[in-house]
Amino acid sequence: MEKPDTQQTTRRPRGHRLAKRSSRDDPEVCVVFPGLVTRESCCRFTCELLKHILHQRHQLPLPYEQLLLFCQGQQAADVSVRRTIKETSDARHCQRTLSDLAELMSQLDAFFTLTPVPRVLLLLGGSPVSPKELYVIDMEGIQVGNGEQSLSPRPCLRQLFRSLFLADPFSDLRSSGLLSLVLMVQGHRDCATDWFQPKLNYKVPTRGHSLTIKLSSSGAETTTYHSDDYIWFQAPITLKGFHN
């Protein structure tokens, strides 16, 4: 059974946010959903963005679903997909990356059932405190509802990726080599996760290229997440990309 939410829904004073980055030069893609959204949908948004960013930043040679089809031995996989994978010098690395990514998404699903999640960080390259690239999935503005009163995830995903397509935030970035990805997720300090590792003193990095994807609900009161109650947790898996 899902634990009850511990957040309070109030009007937030102007300027009050959870450790928001202050640089005005950081690009931001804003997506406003026309209604309430479930926690399950928030988790799905996070996982789809994770897969998308890994592919866009050349850490996966093909989209996740196509790679998964090949590795599962699906006959329906496209010929070009099979050719690409056959040319990959390290098939075991491919299998390891997909396995780690599947485990990470499964654990994210469990985490979202334990606690509200205001933000998720995807940290590419460097270290968690000084990454080369930082991707912030900001969900503080989302108003969470149950399944009956909330939007279906599919149209929300279409709206999200349409906004990304129009903003085109990856086109100006140089191609990068293989980089490790670390995932940080923000949740209630008492959520009792047994997989993610609490990082009580972690601070959001202020250096390196960053992109914020800001998700919110229209016509809803803003949810206040008290900074004393919400901390960062780090995934114990470090994703390592591969090239073909």
pLDDT value of residue 222: 67
CA angle at residue 165 from 51 to 69, to 5 degrees?
Answer: 35
Asked whether 188 and 111 are in contact (CB, 8 A), the reply is: no
In this structure, the strands spanning 180-188 and 223-224 are: unpaired
Tokens representing 4 are 């009850």
Taking only the tens of pLDDT, the chain with its 244 residues reads 444 444 444 433 333 344 343 344 568 999 999 999 999 999 999 999 999 999 999 898 889 988 887 776 643 445 555 555 555 455 677 888 899 999 999 999 999 999 999 999 999 998 999 999 999 999 999 999 987 889 999 999 999 999 999 988 888 777 778 899 999 999 999 999 999 999 999 999 988 889 999 999 997 676 777 778 999 999 999 998 887 6
C-alpha distances in Å from residue 29, one per residue of 132, 163, 176, 215, 220:
19, 7, 22, 9, 20
Place of tokens 């804003």: 30
Tokens representing 126 are 């460097």
- What is the distance between the alpha carbons of residues 225 and 168, in angstroms, rounded to a whole number? 30
pLDDT value of residue 9: 41
Domains of the chain: 25-240 (3.30.900.20)
pLDDT value of residue 24: 42
pLDDT value of residue 177: 82
Asked whether 29 and 163 are in contact (CB, 8 A), the reply is: yes
pLDDT value of residue 19: 38
